[in-house]
Structure 1
Amino acid sequence: MPKRLDRLADLNADYDVIFCDVWGVLHNGVQAWPFAGEALGAFRRQGGSVVLITNSPRRRKGVGEQLDLIGVDPEAYDRIVTSGDVTRDLIKAGSKDVYFIGPDRDRPLLGGLGVNDAGLDEAGTVVCTGLFDDENEQPEEYISILEDFRKKDLPFICANPDLVVERGERLIPCAGSIAALYEKMGGRTLVSGKPHAPIYEAAVAAAKELRPDIANGRILAIGDGMPTDVKGAQDFGLDLLYVSDGIHARDYTDRAVVDEGKLEAFLERNGARPVRWMQRLR
């Protein structure tokens, strides 16, 4: 069982760069966690660099604007790398006739790529950024259209691999939950966001703009999601700080108190090997 960490500052001397998750660590979709931003800001003031690494299907400019609206301190980070940005390479390499699944606010992801908004009969690929209405829909409602995609053997590009995210006190389904259904049905999925390597390679490139000689051993990843943040960081060979008060908190937390025995069993069950853990980044 990794030891509990009281303050991020206790690890600052061991790392030059932090790759920090956004949703669940810096905010819950409704409000920012001010102590998290303060901790990252202090790391930067001591000479460190922070790259936010998020599975948001938006481009980095849109994520930055969203962080401003929610109230995340802009002094908390140097760069933003998004799943949306790295997914654009997959979209460019595919068919120009795209069947789009997601809310209208995510359509700027397709801007400048020369793609056409196609119906099922004309589509050569599917791009999914999320559910059309994630407040009221569930992934299972998409099974019928997924069956149609499967019959046509359409590749399914998933711009947000997260299965769920927190929005206030609720867990909201993401594009990854639809992609998981399609894959289970035998469909082809294409993903660049966490836990896959392309988003980490992009984060390293962003870090090297700030520190050209950075080594993986001097990078600390911070996150709360097992199938994305944890698996991605470990597969890429990065040290991990696990934030327990995120999407998995219900598995080992009762009335805001972490049961460390349950947490240890949860980490072991999921093959997670963080160097430390803390309930909330501070």
Structure 2
Amino acid sequence: MTEIIASLADVAPRYDAVFCDLWGCLHDGKTPFPAAVAALQAFRAQGGIVMLLTNSPRPKPSVIKQLDAMGVPRDAWDDIATSGDAAQYGMLSGGVGRRIHHIGAPKDETFFNDFAEDLQAYAASQPAIERVALKDAEGIICTGLINDLVETPEDYRAQLLLGKTLGLPMLCANPDIVVDMGDKRLWCAGALARDYEEMGGTALYFGKPHPPIYDLARRRLAALRSDECRILCIGDGVNTDVLGGVQEGLDTLFVTGGIDTLAFGTDSSNPNKDLLQAWLDERQLAPSYAIGHLR
């Protein structure tokens, strides 16, 4: 049964490192959550390692710039692993071919030219990726909607049907279905990949809950600490953060006050125990712990 805790400090001594989600846990897309920042700073002050683990399609250097601009202090984390990083490796390896059609926003252009230090040498050694029209492509790379402030997945139905008819595999750089930016809910690349699969297309995933991002996070964690670490996964996505952690054999902390907060009562800081347990039972998932907000 999932244990509801009051703060990360309640269980922190049991772990050497955390894999912590960003959106819904550390910030809302616009503003950092002060209590979450303080919790991660305190964990690091006790000798713990904080690996930020995000399904953002942006590579690590771009996410760092985003966090800096948002005001997340550097002493709240040690390193970052993104779905974009893991998906870049899939792209460079030729997972969906070399001639690709991109579905995504201009802000995601860094996916094709901005690589973390541990990917730069590999990127330089691989054949070039050519961006082409859908009819000329060997595969699709989806980083998200072109304008997620106004568009919905339905706007892409014709494009996806053509891709499926052409037999093109899709590399999905962000498995999230939706994300909350402030008080606005936005569609993510995962929604397009879901629709593509429902049409009969093939989608490849590299972010949570899929193994590639955890493999990457473990490699980056090993570069910081060589001995085996007790890891706690923290996140507000039950089908990404919690499921991914469980599948990796790791303990998980479910932040209930994030994307599914309305399911657990009227007080987002204090989830109703019975509502939470019934909701988790329905999904056949059992995170180790739950907390209203990371603090």
TM-score of the alignment, normalized to the shorter chain, above 0.5: yes
Q: 3-state DSSP class of the match of 1:23?
A: coil
Aligned match of 2:282: 269
Q: Where in structure 2 are the equivalents of 1:195-214 lying within 5 Å? A: 195-214=209-228
1:98 matched to 2:111: no
Q: For structure 1, which runs of at least 5 residues remain unmatched after alignment?
A: none
CA drift at 1:255: 5.2
**Conserved in 1, the CA contact under 8 Å of 2:238 and 2:254?**
no
Q: What does the per-residue CA deviation read over 1:161-187, in whole Å, with 9 as the maximum and x for residues that have no partner? A: 000111111221100000000001110
CA drift at 1:128: 0.5
Q: What does the per-residue CA deviation read over 1:225-274, in whole Å, with 9 as the maximum and x for residues that have no partner? A: 01111111000000001100111112223254533221111111122211
**Conserved in 2, the CA contact under 8 Å of 1:134 and 1:173?**
yes
Q: 3-state DSSP class of the match of 2:6?
A: coil
Aligned amino acid, residue 3 of structure 2 = K
> What fraction of aligned residue pairs are identical, expressed as a percent?
41
CA distance in structure 2 between the partners assigned to 1:129 and 1:145 by the alignment: 15
Which of 174, 182, 185 pairs up with 1:160?
A: 174
**Conserved in 2, the CA contact under 8 Å of 1:155 and 1:189?**
yes
CA distance in structure 2 between the partners assigned to 1:53 and 1:279 by the alignment: 19
CA distance in structure 2 between the partners assigned to 1:250 and 1:74 by the alignment: 32
| Structure 2 length-normalised TM | 0.92
Q: Where in structure 2 are the equivalents of 1:117-156 lying within 5 Å? A: 117-156=131-170
1:50 matched to 2:50: yes
1:236 matched to 2:248: yes
CA distance in structure 2 between the partners assigned to 1:153 and 1:229 by the alignment: 31
Q: Where in structure 2 are the equivalents of 1:1-282 lying within 5 Å? A: 1-92=1-92, 93=94, 94-111=96-113, 114-215=128-229, 218-254=230-266, 256=268, 258-282=271-295
**Conserved in 1, the CA contact under 8 Å of 2:271 and 2:291?**
no
Q: For structure 2, which runs of at least 5 residues remain unmatched after alignment?
A: 114-122
**Conserved in 2, the CA contact under 8 Å of 1:171 and 1:247?**
no
**Conserved in 1, the CA contact under 8 Å of 2:36 and 2:293?**
yes
User: How many positions carry a matched residue from both structures?
Assistant: 280
Q: What does the per-residue CA deviation read over 1:74-99, in whole Å, with 9 as the maximum and x for residues that have no partner? A: 11110000000110121121322111
What is the root-mean-square deviation of aligned Cα atoms in Å?
1.3
**Conserved in 2, the CA contact under 8 Å of 1:34 and 1:72?**
no
